[in-house]
Structure formats: C-alpha cells, structure tokens
Structure 1
Amino acid sequence: MSTVLHLDASARPGRSDQRPHGSHTRRLSARFVDRWRALRPQDEVIYRDLGAEPPPPVTGDWIHAAFTPAERRQPWMHQALALSDQLVDELLRADLIVVGLPMYNFGPPAGFKAYIDNIVRVGRTFGFDRQRTGDPYWPLLAGAGKRLVLLGSRGDHGYGPGQRLASMNHVEPSVRTAFAYIGITEVHGTAVEYDEFGDHRLQQSLLAAEARVDALAGQLAGATAAAVNPPAAETVV
C-alpha cells in the first residue's frame, strides 16, 4: 500500500467543472486522485486544503525553535512547531505528493509558500553541519522514492520551458528547487493556460490538461504497482 498526499493551494473554492468561477487546479488534482483511487483503491490518501486553511508564515520564534535541538526545546518551542511537525509527518508518510498549484502574480500562492517554509526543516527534511566537508547542507529525503505531481493553472499562456513567458514563471521552478533541496527530485505535472481569456483556447487547454492528468495517473500508478509487486524471477531449469 502507498500513501498519497493531496494538497490544494487555490484560494478559489470548488472545482471549475462543478461551479462557476471554481478552481482549475482543484479540478485537476481531484481528477488525478480519483483516477488513482480507481486504479489503487487500497492506497491511503491524506488531504490538506492549503487554500482554505493556509499555514501561518514562519516567524522569529519559529526559527528559534526549529534551530534549537529537540532535547533542549522549551514548551513554547514545541507549540511553535506543532503544525510544522504535523505537516512534515504527513510528507514523510507520503509516497506521492499531488499539488493543485495555481500561479498568482508569477509565483505560487502565499499559503503554499508558507507550506514550503514549514516543511523545509533542519534535522527533519534537510541536514546541516558547519563542520561538514564540502556542502554543509544535505537532503534527508533523498533516495526515499517520493514523487511530486504539480497541477497548475495560469491566466495567460506561454509559461512553459522555452516559451514566450518562461522567464516570468516562478511557480514550478521555485517549487522544484525547494523539494529538490530536501531530496524529492522526481517531478511530473501539467498546467491549464488561457484562464483570463475564457474562450475556446481555455477549453482546449483544460481538455489537454485532463488528458495529461489521466495519463500521468495511469503511468505513476503502474510504476508504483511494479515497484511494490515486481515480477517473479524466472527459473531456468
């Protein structure tokens, strides 16, 4: 059995296929998880709505607590890190992280940035040692086999690699960097574009993104099944 961590970051409630002005990213992430459940009904799904209930931003007290060794933390420090510990625990349990992640003003929503700041934790998801030869930082989740799926939406078009607005896309590149820093480097995804246009191009983009979601769910679910249940070794007589 695998565990899927399903995160939504859109401030828009509801899905665009169910209500006017609903979220495209909620639509895509729900579709992915629905397809996954159909293919792997035994798997656990953890859901967190970061759009409706964003984590608080990191504060000075949070930093003080996080960089204090656990055995020396005072009660207020444990309280300051309580939600962060819960978010990290969910991430550690997950084999697959599926994120509905819209672009807001060329970057991720503030709630998702706060999520990243809460899970990039010294001693829990990355290591740090001033005396270490070479790089004093290292990822603690490297080699754990975790995979990340980013399902986005954008008002304009042409934000993909090599396209007209690629240099202005600080969503997927920044998220990939943060997750790679803690050791999660296998990233997949797709995005809807033309949202601000609202015409046939948006509809075509939605259909293409849904087809990509279906293919990704099948591909990754199949890879998971193969890893959990490898074919029996052939016996040569």
Structure 2
Amino acid sequence: MSNILVVQGSPRGERSHSRRLAETFISAWQDVNPQSQATRREVGRTVIAPVNEAFIAAAFHPEPQARPLTMRADLALSDTLVAELMAHERLVISAPMHNFGVPSGIKAWIDQIVRIGLTFNHSLDNGVSQYEPLVLGKKALIVTSRGDFGFGPGGQLEAMNHADTWLRTVLGFIGISDVTVVAAEGEESAEHSFARSYAEAEQRLLALARTF
C-alpha cells in the first residue's frame, strides 16, 4: 500500500486549474489504490512561515540533540512537515506558475522541508562540499498551469520557466529524482486553446493514475 501526500499551492480555491487537475488525479489514483491514504497539505491558502534568523540558528545548531526548547519551538512546523513528507511514498505538488516561478506558499514549504540532517547531509572532502540526499525511494508528480504556451521542454519560453524546473532541482537535491510534470498551458490565451490543453493534461493524469 502506498500513501500519497498532496501539497496544494494555489491561493485560489475552485477557480484554480492546477488544484482541480490535482484533485482529478487523486480521485483516479484512489480508485486504483482503494486501500491507500491521501494526505492534503494546504500551503496556498494557509500561511506557511518563511525561514527567519531564529529558524536558521536552530536548524544549524552544532548539537541538534541539545537544542534548547526555544529552538525546538522554532523548528516545530518544519519537523512536522518533514515527518509528513517522510511518511508518504508518493508526492503530488499542485503549483501554478506565478511570475515565472512558484507561488510563495510552495517556496515557504520547500524552505521548511529542506533540512540539514533530515532531508540532506553535508560534509567536506578536502575542503569541497559534498551533499547526500536523504529522501529516498519516493516518486513525485508536479501538476501546474501556465498563462501562456511554450514553457515546457523545447518551447520558445522554456528559459523563462523557473517553476516546475526549480522544483525538480530542489526535489532532486533531497533525493526525489523520479519526477513527472503535467501542465495545462495558455490560461491567458484563447479560451478554446486553453480548454484543449487542460483536457490533454487531464487525460494524461488519468492515465498516469494507473501506474504512479
């Protein structure tokens, strides 16, 4: 049995295309895996605290087991989010493109889960930094929507895509290298063009639900 963590990053509710597509996928995935559990983590419509100086001091404390209570409190949300990620074999991130990047809630969630000693390790080899990913054996799906066409691989706007491409980089850094991206493009284009792209994304997600 596989459990799936769904991180919803859109600040919009029912009007969110990426949110609706992700829910379509989850519904189909649960039909195929009826004994599995889906956990939803809302970061688009709930404030996730940004990393601050207290967080950094606590996260990089030289003796993690000896952190004072105040530091443990500063890391409480991060500890919860990391444990939640580790407890699930599958990850779905619903993240529309905002100004060529991800919504602020997704960025804040990533900053909370990329933790030295928990999701990656760091060491020095002859003065050269070495990084070891610690989140292993998981698969991820990124469901996104974009205002225009051509942000995908080989597209004319590919170089301006700092959303799902950035997510791939971060997920790979902590050890999740098996990542699939499904996008609906052209929300700001002609209505029929976006409808076609949305339908294609929906069909791809329905097919993926059988094997993910």
1:201 aligns with 2:190: no
- Aligned-pair identity in percent equals 40
Deviates more, 1:126-135 or 1:36-45: 126-135
Structure 1 unaligned segments of length 5 or more: list them: 15-21, 221-237
| SS of equivalent to 1:97 | strand
Query: Separation in 2 of the partners of 1:41 and 1:70?
Result: 40
In structure 1, give the amino acid aligned to 2:39: I
Asked if 1:95 corresponds to 2:89, the answer is yes
The 8 Å contact of residues 87 and 118 in structure 1, kept in 2 or not, is answered as: yes
State the Cα distance separating 1:128 from its structure 2 match.
1.4
Which structure has the larger Rg over C-alpha atoms? 1
Taking structure 1 as the reference length, the TM-score comes to 0.86
What is the deviation of 1:136? 2.4
| Count, aligned residues | 211
- Counterpart mapping for 1:46-65 below 5 A: 46-65=39-58
> Which amino acid counterpart does residue 70 of structure 1 have in structure 2?
P
- The answer for the alignment partner of 1:177 in structure 2 is 169
Give the residue type in structure 1 aligned to 2:196. Answer: Q
Is this contact kept in 1: 2:18–2:95, CA < 8 A? Answer: yes
Structure 2 contact 164–181 (Cα < 8 Å) conserved? no
What RMSD in Å do the two structures reach over aligned CA positions? 1.3
Of the three residues 31, 38, 52, the one matched with 2:31 is 38
Give, as a single letter, the amino acid of the residue that structure 2 aligns with 1:12. R
In structure 2, relative to structure 1, the CA distance for the partners of 1:38 and 1:132 (3 Å cut) is farther
Name 1:125's counterpart in structure 2: 119
- 4+ runs deviating over 2 angstroms: 129-136
The whole-number CA distance in structure 2 between the counterparts of 1:29 and 1:11 is 14
For residue 198 of structure 1, report the CA deviation from its aligned partner. 4.7
- The Cα shift of 1:132 comes to 7.1
Distance 1:138 1:90 in 2: 20
Q: Distance in 2 between matches of 1:188 and 1:163?
A: 17
Q: Relative to 1, partners in 2 of residues 1:56 and 1:41: Cα closer, same or farther, differing over 3 Å?
A: same
Compute the TM-score of the two structures, normalised by the length of structure 2. 0.96
1:29 aligns with 2:41: no
1:178 partner letter = V
Query: Aligned-pair distance for 1:189?
Result: 2.1
- Which ranges of structure 2 fall in alignment gaps of 5 or more residues? none
Is the CA contact (8 Å cut-off) linking 1:54 and 1:115 kept in structure 2?
A: no
